[in-house]
Protein backbone atom coordinates (compact mmCIF):
# COMPACT_ATOMS: atom_id res chain seq x y z
CA UNK A 1 0.00 0.00 0.00
CA UNK A 2 1.16 3.53 -0.78
CA UNK A 3 -0.71 6.23 1.10
CA UNK A 4 -0.58 9.98 0.61
CA UNK A 5 -1.74 11.81 3.73
CA UNK A 6 -2.34 15.55 3.79
CA UNK A 7 -1.78 17.63 6.90
CA UNK A 8 0.58 14.93 8.14
CA UNK A 9 2.95 17.36 9.83
CA UNK A 10 1.45 16.72 13.26
CA UNK A 11 -1.68 15.81 15.18
CA UNK A 12 -4.06 13.33 13.67
CA UNK A 13 -2.28 13.29 10.29
CA UNK A 14 0.98 12.23 11.93
CA UNK A 15 -0.81 9.52 13.95
CA UNK A 16 -2.42 8.21 10.74
CA UNK A 17 0.96 8.20 9.00
CA UNK A 18 2.58 6.28 11.86
CA UNK A 19 -0.23 3.72 11.98
CA UNK A 20 -0.35 3.17 8.22
CA UNK A 21 3.41 2.72 8.06
CA UNK A 22 3.20 0.31 10.98
CA UNK A 23 0.79 -1.77 8.87
CA UNK A 24 3.32 -1.86 6.03
CA UNK A 25 2.25 1.09 3.90
CA UNK A 26 4.77 3.34 2.22
CA UNK A 27 3.66 6.70 3.52
CA UNK A 28 3.91 10.02 1.73
CA UNK A 29 3.55 12.57 4.50
CA UNK A 30 2.50 15.91 3.06
CA UNK A 31 1.95 19.23 4.73
CA UNK A 32 2.03 22.91 3.89
CA UNK A 33 5.04 23.04 6.22
CA UNK A 34 7.66 20.74 4.69
CA UNK A 35 9.78 20.66 7.84
CA UNK A 36 6.86 19.24 9.82
CA UNK A 37 6.19 16.65 7.09
CA UNK A 38 9.89 15.72 7.20
CA UNK A 39 9.69 15.29 10.96
CA UNK A 40 6.77 12.87 10.50
CA UNK A 41 8.71 10.93 7.86
CA UNK A 42 11.70 10.81 10.21
CA UNK A 43 9.53 9.45 13.05
CA UNK A 44 8.02 6.82 10.74
CA UNK A 45 11.47 5.68 9.66
CA UNK A 46 12.75 5.71 13.22
CA UNK A 47 9.90 3.31 14.04
CA UNK A 48 10.98 1.02 11.19
CA UNK A 49 8.53 2.21 8.51
CA UNK A 50 8.98 3.70 5.05
CA UNK A 51 8.09 7.33 4.41
CA UNK A 52 8.67 10.30 2.15
CA UNK A 53 7.95 13.95 2.88
CA UNK A 54 6.44 16.28 0.30
CA UNK A 55 5.18 19.86 0.57
CA UNK A 56 1.67 20.67 -0.57
CA UNK A 57 -0.79 23.51 -0.32
CA UNK A 58 -4.07 21.67 -0.77
CA UNK A 59 -5.87 24.82 -1.89
CA UNK A 60 -3.67 25.11 -4.97
CA UNK A 61 -4.23 22.71 -7.90
CA UNK A 62 -0.67 23.23 -9.22
CA UNK A 63 0.83 22.46 -5.82
CA UNK A 64 -1.42 19.41 -5.44
CA UNK A 65 -0.46 18.10 -8.89
CA UNK A 66 3.22 18.58 -8.14
CA UNK A 67 2.87 16.82 -4.78
CA UNK A 68 1.11 13.83 -6.31
CA UNK A 69 3.76 13.64 -9.04
CA UNK A 70 6.52 13.74 -6.41
CA UNK A 71 4.72 11.08 -4.37
CA UNK A 72 4.41 8.72 -7.33
CA UNK A 73 8.03 9.29 -8.31
CA UNK A 74 9.14 8.44 -4.78
CA UNK A 75 6.72 5.70 -3.81
CA UNK A 76 4.84 4.49 -6.89
CA UNK A 77 1.10 4.63 -7.71
CA UNK A 78 -1.16 5.46 -4.78
CA UNK A 79 -3.47 2.98 -3.13
CA UNK A 80 -4.86 5.50 -0.66
CA UNK A 81 -5.36 9.23 -0.33
CA UNK A 82 -6.21 10.55 3.14
CA UNK A 83 -7.51 14.12 3.07
CA UNK A 84 -6.76 15.25 6.60
CA UNK A 85 -5.41 18.80 6.14
CA UNK A 86 -7.61 21.52 7.52
CA UNK A 87 -7.78 24.89 9.14
CA UNK A 88 -8.36 23.72 12.68
CA UNK A 89 -5.47 24.80 14.91
CA UNK A 90 -5.58 28.39 13.68
CA UNK A 91 -9.34 28.81 13.28
CA UNK A 92 -10.85 31.97 14.70
CA UNK A 93 -14.07 30.96 16.42
CA UNK A 94 -16.82 33.57 16.45
CA UNK A 95 -20.61 33.95 16.36
CA UNK A 96 -21.90 33.43 12.82
CA UNK A 97 -22.46 37.15 12.24
CA UNK A 98 -18.96 38.10 13.37
CA UNK A 99 -17.02 35.72 11.12
CA UNK A 100 -15.27 37.77 8.45
CA UNK A 101 -15.56 36.92 4.78
CA UNK A 102 -11.78 36.43 4.65
CA UNK A 103 -11.90 33.93 7.52
CA UNK A 104 -14.89 32.12 5.99
CA UNK A 105 -13.05 31.81 2.67
CA UNK A 106 -9.78 30.74 4.32
CA UNK A 107 -11.52 27.88 6.11
CA UNK A 108 -13.52 26.80 3.06
CA UNK A 109 -10.46 26.91 0.81
CA UNK A 110 -8.48 24.43 2.89
CA UNK A 111 -11.22 22.29 4.43
CA UNK A 112 -13.55 21.87 1.46
CA UNK A 113 -11.76 22.96 -1.69
CA UNK A 114 -8.67 21.08 -0.45
CA UNK A 115 -10.10 17.53 -0.55
CA UNK A 116 -11.63 18.21 -3.97
CA UNK A 117 -8.36 19.64 -5.33
CA UNK A 118 -6.47 16.62 -3.97
CA UNK A 119 -8.98 14.17 -5.45
CA UNK A 120 -8.60 15.79 -8.85
CA UNK A 121 -4.80 15.77 -8.56
CA UNK A 122 -4.71 12.12 -7.43
CA UNK A 123 -7.31 10.81 -9.91
CA UNK A 124 -4.88 9.17 -12.30
CA UNK A 125 -2.28 8.28 -9.68
CA UNK A 126 -4.80 6.30 -7.61
CA UNK A 127 -4.84 2.63 -8.50
CA UNK A 128 -8.14 1.00 -9.39
CA UNK A 129 -9.49 -0.56 -6.20
CA UNK A 130 -7.89 2.23 -4.18
CA UNK A 131 -9.26 4.31 -1.34
CA UNK A 132 -9.98 7.91 -0.48
CA UNK A 133 -10.65 8.78 3.15
CA UNK A 134 -11.77 12.31 3.96
CA UNK A 135 -11.54 13.63 7.50
CA UNK A 136 -14.77 15.43 8.39
CA UNK A 137 -15.87 16.21 11.95
CA UNK A 138 -18.54 15.19 14.43
CA UNK A 139 -19.27 18.92 14.83
CA UNK A 140 -21.41 18.49 11.70
CA UNK A 141 -23.87 16.55 13.86
CA UNK A 142 -23.61 18.66 17.02
CA UNK A 143 -23.73 21.96 15.12
CA UNK A 144 -21.18 23.48 17.46
CA UNK A 145 -21.81 27.16 18.09
CA UNK A 146 -19.21 29.69 16.91
CA UNK A 147 -17.86 27.31 14.31
CA UNK A 148 -20.21 28.09 11.39
CA UNK A 149 -17.43 28.19 8.81
CA UNK A 150 -15.69 25.08 10.14
CA UNK A 151 -18.88 23.04 10.55
CA UNK A 152 -20.19 24.06 7.11
CA UNK A 153 -16.86 23.11 5.54
CA UNK A 154 -16.89 19.70 7.23
CA UNK A 155 -20.52 19.12 6.21
CA UNK A 156 -19.39 19.91 2.68
CA UNK A 157 -16.76 17.21 3.00
CA UNK A 158 -19.52 14.66 3.64
CA UNK A 159 -21.39 15.78 0.52
CA UNK A 160 -18.21 15.70 -1.54
CA UNK A 161 -17.48 12.21 -0.23
CA UNK A 162 -20.83 10.96 -1.55
CA UNK A 163 -20.35 12.46 -5.00
CA UNK A 164 -16.79 11.16 -5.29
CA UNK A 165 -17.99 7.71 -4.19
CA UNK A 166 -20.29 7.61 -7.24
CA UNK A 167 -17.74 9.02 -9.64
CA UNK A 168 -14.79 6.85 -8.51
CA UNK A 169 -17.00 3.79 -7.96
CA UNK A 170 -16.70 2.33 -11.47
CA UNK A 171 -12.95 1.96 -10.84
CA UNK A 172 -13.53 0.08 -7.60
CA UNK A 173 -12.19 3.07 -5.65
CA UNK A 174 -14.10 3.69 -2.43
CA UNK A 175 -14.53 7.15 -0.93
CA UNK A 176 -15.55 7.48 2.70
CA UNK A 177 -15.35 10.02 5.49
CA UNK A 178 -14.34 9.75 9.13
CA UNK A 179 -15.95 12.25 11.50
CA UNK A 180 -13.88 12.42 14.68
CA UNK A 181 -15.22 13.87 17.87
CA UNK A 182 -13.04 16.14 19.97
CA UNK A 183 -9.57 14.64 20.00
CA UNK A 184 -6.58 15.62 22.10
CA UNK A 185 -4.16 16.83 19.47
CA UNK A 186 -1.78 19.72 20.04
CA UNK A 187 -4.19 21.87 18.06
CA UNK A 188 -7.07 21.01 20.39
CA UNK A 189 -5.08 22.02 23.46
CA UNK A 190 -4.52 25.39 21.80
CA UNK A 191 -8.21 25.84 20.99
CA UNK A 192 -10.15 24.61 24.01
CA UNK A 193 -9.70 25.41 27.66
CA UNK A 194 -9.81 22.35 29.92
CA UNK A 195 -9.26 20.19 26.84
CA UNK A 196 -8.57 17.08 28.90
CA UNK A 197 -12.07 17.05 30.36
CA UNK A 198 -13.93 18.61 27.40
CA UNK A 199 -17.00 16.56 26.45
CA UNK A 200 -15.98 13.60 28.59
CA UNK A 201 -19.22 13.60 30.58
CA UNK A 202 -21.25 13.40 27.34
CA UNK A 203 -19.26 10.48 26.00
CA UNK A 204 -20.61 6.96 26.47
CA UNK A 205 -17.07 5.80 27.11
CA UNK A 206 -16.41 8.59 29.63
CA UNK A 207 -12.96 9.41 28.37
CA UNK A 208 -11.26 11.74 25.90
CA UNK A 209 -9.99 10.66 22.50
CA UNK A 210 -6.32 10.42 21.70
CA UNK A 211 -5.34 10.58 17.99
CA UNK A 212 -4.74 6.82 18.16
CA UNK A 213 -8.46 6.35 18.91
CA UNK A 214 -9.32 7.79 15.50
CA UNK A 215 -6.77 6.02 13.32
CA UNK A 216 -8.46 2.60 13.46
CA UNK A 217 -11.42 3.87 11.43
CA UNK A 218 -9.06 5.44 8.89
CA UNK A 219 -7.02 2.25 8.60
CA UNK A 220 -10.19 0.23 8.05
CA UNK A 221 -11.62 2.54 5.39
CA UNK A 222 -8.20 2.82 3.70
CA UNK A 223 -7.59 -0.91 3.84
CA UNK A 224 -8.64 -4.09 2.03
CA UNK A 225 -11.53 -5.08 4.33
CA UNK A 226 -13.84 -2.16 3.48
CA UNK A 227 -14.15 -2.67 -0.26
CA UNK A 228 -17.97 -2.71 -0.34
CA UNK A 229 -18.39 0.42 1.79
CA UNK A 230 -18.45 3.72 -0.03
CA UNK A 231 -19.97 7.17 0.33
CA UNK A 232 -20.33 6.66 4.09
CA UNK A 233 -19.32 8.69 7.11
CA UNK A 234 -18.07 6.92 10.21
CA UNK A 235 -18.43 8.94 13.42
CA UNK A 236 -15.65 8.19 15.89
CA UNK A 237 -16.51 10.09 19.07
CA UNK A 238 -16.63 7.63 21.94
CA UNK A 239 -20.42 7.64 21.77
CA UNK A 240 -21.11 11.33 22.32
CA UNK A 241 -23.77 11.36 19.62
CA UNK A 242 -25.68 8.54 18.00
CA UNK A 243 -26.28 9.33 14.35
N1 LIG B 1 -8.53 17.39 16.87
C2 LIG B 1 -9.86 17.30 16.87
O3 LIG B 1 -10.54 17.38 17.92
C4 LIG B 1 -10.59 17.09 15.58
C5 LIG B 1 -11.95 16.72 15.64
C6 LIG B 1 -12.64 16.52 14.45
C7 LIG B 1 -11.99 16.64 13.25
N8 LIG B 1 -10.66 16.99 13.22
C9 LIG B 1 -10.02 17.10 11.93
O10 LIG B 1 -8.89 16.23 11.93
C11 LIG B 1 -7.89 16.77 11.08
C12 LIG B 1 -6.58 16.91 11.85
O13 LIG B 1 -6.78 17.73 12.98
P14 LIG B 1 -5.62 18.03 14.04
O15 LIG B 1 -6.26 18.13 15.36
O16 LIG B 1 -4.48 17.10 13.82
O17 LIG B 1 -5.25 19.53 13.60
P18 LIG B 1 -3.98 20.20 12.94
O19 LIG B 1 -2.75 19.80 13.70
O20 LIG B 1 -4.27 21.64 12.80
O21 LIG B 1 -3.88 19.49 11.52
C22 LIG B 1 -4.16 20.12 10.32
C23 LIG B 1 -2.94 20.03 9.43
O24 LIG B 1 -3.28 20.59 8.16
C25 LIG B 1 -2.20 21.41 7.74
N26 LIG B 1 -2.62 22.41 6.77
C27 LIG B 1 -3.27 23.58 7.01
N28 LIG B 1 -3.46 24.24 5.85
C29 LIG B 1 -2.94 23.47 4.87
C30 LIG B 1 -2.84 23.61 3.47
N31 LIG B 1 -3.32 24.69 2.82
N32 LIG B 1 -2.24 22.63 2.75
C33 LIG B 1 -1.73 21.55 3.39
N34 LIG B 1 -1.78 21.35 4.72
C35 LIG B 1 -2.39 22.31 5.45
C36 LIG B 1 -1.70 22.03 9.02
O37 LIG B 1 -0.41 22.54 8.83
P38 LIG B 1 0.14 23.77 9.71
O39 LIG B 1 -0.11 23.41 11.14
O40 LIG B 1 1.58 23.81 9.35
O41 LIG B 1 -0.66 24.95 9.29
C42 LIG B 1 -1.77 20.85 9.99
O43 LIG B 1 -0.56 20.09 9.92
C44 LIG B 1 -8.45 18.07 10.53
O45 LIG B 1 -9.11 17.81 9.31
C46 LIG B 1 -9.46 18.46 11.59
O47 LIG B 1 -10.45 19.34 11.08
C48 LIG B 1 -9.95 17.21 14.36
- The predicted-structure confidence for 19-56, as pLDDT tens digits, reads as follows 999 999 999 999 999 999 999 999 999 999 999 999 99
Domain ranges of the chain: 2-236
How high is the pLDDT of residue 80? 98
Residue nearest to atom 16 of ligand 1 (CA): 11
How high is the pLDDT of residue 203? 96
Query: Does the active-site annotation cover 189?
Result: no
Architecture of domain 2-236: 3-Layer(aba) Sandwich (3.40)
**CA 9/CA 14 separation, integer angstroms:** 6
Asked if residues 41 and 27 have their Cβ atoms less than 8 Å apart, the reply is yes
How high is the pLDDT of residue 216? 98
- For residue 232, give Cα distances in angstroms to 65, 92, 98, 119, 163: 26, 29, 33, 17, 11
Closest atom of ligand 1 to 185 CA is: 15
Average pLDDT, rounded, for the chain:
98
Going from the Cα of 170 to the center of ligand 1, the distance in angstroms, rounded, reads 30
Q: Which residues line ligand 1 (CB under 6 A)?
A: 6-7, 9-13, 31-33, 36, 56-59, 84-89, 110, 135, 137, 180, 182-183, 185, 187-188
Active-site pick, 88, 141, 150, 198: 150
Amino acid sequence: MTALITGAGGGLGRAIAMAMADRGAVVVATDIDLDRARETARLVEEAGGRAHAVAVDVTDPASAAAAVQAAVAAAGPLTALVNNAAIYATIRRAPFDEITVDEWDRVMAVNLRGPWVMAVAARDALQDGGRIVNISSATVYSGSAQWAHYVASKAGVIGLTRVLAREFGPRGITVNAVAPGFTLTEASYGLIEDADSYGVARSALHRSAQPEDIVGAVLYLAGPDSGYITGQTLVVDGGRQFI
